[in-house]
Amino acid sequence: METQKKYDKHSPIGVFDSGLGGLTAVKEIIEQLPHEDIVFFGDTARVPYGNRSRETIIEYSRQDMRFLLAHDVKIVCIACNTVDSMARLTLEQEFDIPIIGAVSPAARKAVQLTKNKKIGLIGTFATVSSGAYRKLINKLAPDCTVYSQACPLLVPLIESGRFHKGDAVVETVLRDYLLPLQAQGIDTIILGCTHYPLLYAIVKDILPGVEIVCSGSASTEYLREKLAALDLLNDSETEGKRRFYVSDAPEEFATHGSVFLGMSVREHCEKADPDIYQ
Ligand code: DGL
């Protein structure tokens, strides 16, 4: 068991993802817990994780965890549905630190919101094929049906900055993925990948009237509860500090990240190598 001993309530929250998508979780944390320091790691050299084997996803996410532990974080948010679906249980067995995932909070939220019991799910190949959402939803509400669609083209498009409304390529691809779900009559859709909230406005246009659940926002509510229960909420009154580490192309990350977060990321962003945490 790998342990993290050097933390207290003023230690940072660790957040990791395979890339840019984890910023959707960071944005929620900044809005809901503004006094918390955050250390973010995005594995931009190896994104996407969603088309890889379980073994590889587990190995990469172990390194991501070690990177964050080396920064003395007090809790880790897995801001990646792919890692949560494929590696969460292993990470919980191997690391002695509280871990917040993305799948369970979003599944619960969708079950609360649906009225006709037809829930759509979009995610990476790994997330959809793991069946993690379906199993959880069926446990919470056996009368719900989950209609799933793997969307392997979306993460590469988003990572290359194609997530803005009016981008004909991403709009066409997204329509192709979503229309079959709409035809099933879903009234709620889970954006089961932390990259997808960047496409929120386009999804809303394609699926009017459908409730949209973003995994990042649902999990921040759990994060707050967990920190409070562990007496680890930061009681400082000053704005939290945020540091961003990526394994490749920090400039590109900082450009897209600054637009998305509405704050300058560049001067807080550095390149880091997760391989040293093997
Ligand atoms: N952001 C990741 C997720 O939530 C997916 C990106 C990837 O495939 O690496 O599943």
User: DSSP letter string over 55-86?
Assistant: HHHHHHHHHHHHHHHTTT-SEEEE--HHHHHH
The answer to whether 190 and 119 are in contact (CB under 8 A) is: yes
Residue nearest ligand 1's atom 7 by CA: 48
Any atom of ligand 1 within 6 Å of the Cβ of 82: yes
Calculate how far, in angstroms, residue 102's C-alpha sits from the geometric centre of ligand 1. Answer: 11
Residue 94 confidence (pLDDT): 96
Q: What is the mean pLDDT of residues 128-135?
A: 95
Q: Which helix (H) or strand (E) holds 218?
A: helix 215-229
- Establish whether residue 80 lines the binding site of ligand 1, counting it when its CB lies within 6 angstroms of any ligand atom: yes
Using the predicted structure, report yes or no on whether residue 115 has a pLDDT greater than 80.
yes
Distance of alpha carbon 95 from alpha carbon 208, whole angstroms: 42
Sheet of 269-271, strands arranged across: 99-100, 75-78, 13-17, 38-42, 242-246, 269-271
Q: What is the residue type of 165?
A: K
Task: Show Cβ contacts of residue 159 under 8 Å, excluding neighbours closer than 6 positions.
Answer: 19, 20, 44, 47, 48, 195
Active site residues: 80, 193
When pLDDT is averaged across residues 5-30 and rounded to a whole number, the result is: 91
Instruction: Confirm or reject: Cβ of 85 under 6 Å from ligand 1.
Output: no
**Per-chain mean pLDDT for the chain:** 93
Q: Do 13-101+218-277 and 103-215 show the same overall fold? A: yes
Distance 138 CA to ligand 1 centre (A): 23
Percent pLDDT > 70 in the chain is: 97
In the prediction, which pLDDT does 232 show? 96
The whole-angstrom separation of Cα 130 and Cα 82 is: 9
Q: Give the mean model confidence (pLDDT) for residues 186-202.
A: 94
Q: Which CATH class is domain 13-101+218-277?
A: alpha beta
More confident residue, 273 or 32: 32
CB-based burial, 88-100: b 16+ in 10 Å, e otherwise: beebeeebebbbb
Q: How confident is the model at residue 171 (pLDDT cuts 50, 70, 90)?
A: very high
Q: What fold, for 103-215?
A: Rossmann fold (3.40.50)
Give the start-to-end residue ranges of the domains of the chain.
13-101+218-277, 103-215
